[in-house]
């Protein structure tokens, strides 16, 4: 797993589970969302670099 994805997941874990219970929400969802977020950001960056 990419370091940026791990860092984003850590921030999401802290923010989300500060107000919600880990019993009620699956932690795998946070990892999935953070991975999608970081990979989407990288794809946008690559696209913008190609266009310029």
Ordered by start, the domain boundaries in the chain are 3-51
pLDDT, tens digit (0-9, with 9 covering 90-100), for 16-39: 888 888 888 888 887 788 878 877
CA distance 28 to 50: 33
CA distance 42 to 39: 5
pLDDT at 46: 66
Q: Where are the alpha helices (DSSP H) in the chain?
A: 3-17, 27-51
Contact status, residue 31 vs residue 17, Cβ threshold 8 Å: no
pTM for this one?
Answer: 0.57
pLDDT tier at 3, thresholds 50, 70, 90: confident
pLDDT, tens digit (0-9, with 9 covering 90-100), for 38-51: 777 666 666 566 67
Residue 38 — φ and ψ, nearest 5°? Answer: -70, -40
Burial label, 8 (beta-carbon count in 10 A; 0-12, 13-18, 19+): buried
């Amino acid at each position: 797993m990419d370091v940026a994805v791990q860092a984003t997941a850590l921030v999401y874990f802290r923010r989300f589970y500060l107000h919600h219970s880990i019993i009620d929400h699956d932690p795998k969802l946070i990892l999935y969302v953070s991975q999608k977020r970081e990979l989407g950001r990288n794809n946008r960056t690559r696209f913008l670099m190609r266009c310029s």
